[in-house]
Amino acid sequence: MDERQLTATDMREIENVVARIKPLLAGRRPDVQGVILAECLSIWITGHLLPGQPKATAELWGSIWRMHFAKAAELIHLVATEVGTPALIEQLLTEIPPSRSSR
């Protein structure tokens, strides 16, 4: 997986897209928000298909999955620190095993 550093342009694009997504999630129950984000994640990961290369595709998906959760953990900790709740996040991050539940 490409592990390039994000540029200032990338960060502006990310901030703009997140600002557009926030209103779509606002006011919905946390479980509904979570499933919406999980659906987007599943589409994103499985969209990286290497035709005729199932093993390479599985390795790529694993790499994307690990990168995503590492970045999410980093951002959760950062935001929790900004809002003054880092102790709660330390507990959460030790309790996040991926589940195999259906949609």
Question: How large is the average pLDDT for residues 45-50?
Answer: 95
Distance CA 41, CA 61 (A): 11
| Sign, CA torsion 9/6/35/96 | negative
Distance CA 17, CA 89 (A): 25
CA dihedral defined by 46, 62, 75, 39, rounded to 10 degrees? 30
Considering the entire predicted model, what is its pTM? 0.71
> What are the tens digits of pLDDT across the range 53-94?
999 999 999 999 999 988 988 888 888 888 877 777 777 667
CA Rg, the chain, in Å?
A: 16
- Spatial contact of 48 and 57, defined as CB atoms under 8 Å apart: yes
**Least confident interval from 10-14, 34-38, 68-72, 91-95:** 91-95
